[in-house]
Structure 1
């Protein structure tokens, strides 16, 4: 009886559908166009969000979704998704305030002035009039770092000279002790 049960389980296992375990992509056939849409709300009869999407079957998807933001305004995003990615278009872009518009104008004017100054210079030429002047703190820090750099460079030069002298002494000693009339003496 035990062997019969094992045989039945093995036979059923051999005929089991394991196609979902396959790593190859199934043949999907031609793309199918579709349309879907839904609306939802937090209270019965009240819609505060919706989504609609349409695919023509060629791989291009168009859609729109809307929601109510925390300021109780309806915001809508229309989009196209294709082989080049997702391209949203916001229908609720906010207009800049007067302060932001003024700041943008000031920034653009400054940008153009600097661009003209740089365009009038030849490559490698520094505008001395436009060069920033170092404060006392910057001058002090610069001098401190320069003196440290010079001290370290002198230290490294002394170490390098000592190592070179040691190398030359070892090389001279090797020449006299290693080779004597064409014979090697350790």
Structure 2
């Protein structure tokens, strides 16, 4: 009995009406229209540890939907990257500052340059041959590739024969079943 009283005392607060705490279950409606947008301005700085600022964000809004701002951060290469942006009736417009090294294409080494040249020469040769209907000289199989192909074909044929034997066996079983099964002639109108 003592345990039952303790359980009732502990559960009773949970049985109360809490719908007023959750706005989606509230039965009252608000008829007050939201206030018109107001101009705003904010700025903050943050860092991964005290005394170190590695990101900054600032933004202003004029209250009519136009926003201007920027944010900066220190990337893993310890470079400060900045994005300045504006949003208005024509859309969102951003400009990147100090991103030149991320956009620049790497310079090819001598080995890469020579490999590209060989690739493009070979590509042109093959394209020219294809445009004139000249058959492409495919590489011949090595001895090990030939043996692997033969082994594959033999295995494929063996599996195909096994599948055909299984299909024949099932067909024989089906025909035997049909030959020995009695037809179930059920007449729903027949009275016994």
**1:26-175 maps to which residues of 2 (within 5 A)?**
28-39=34-45, 49-57=55-63, 61-69=67-75, 71-79=77-85, 89-91=95-97, 92-94=99-101, 95-99=104-108, 128-129=135-136, 131=138, 134-174=141-181
SS in 1 for 2:100: coil
Structure 1 position 65, deviation (Å):
1.3
How many residues are paired up? 161
TM-score calculated relative to the size of structure 1: 0.51
SS in 2 for 1:99: coil
TM-score calculated relative to the size of structure 2: 0.50
What is the aligned-residue RMSD (CA, Å)? 5.5
> What per-residue deviation string (whole Å, max 9, x for no partner) do you get for residues 21-64 of structure 1?
75999754443342222356799999654322233445564421
> What per-residue deviation string (whole Å, max 9, x for no partner) do you get for residues 129-173 of structure 1?
275654544443333232222111100101111221222233233
Q: CA–CA distance in 2 between the matches of 1:163 and 1:42?
A: 72
Unaligned runs of 5+ in 2: 1-16, 186-192
Aligned to 1:10: none
Q: CA–CA distance in 2 between the matches of 1:81 and 1:128?
A: 58
Q: CA–CA distance in 2 between the matches of 1:117 and 1:62?
A: 54
SS in 1 for 2:37: coil
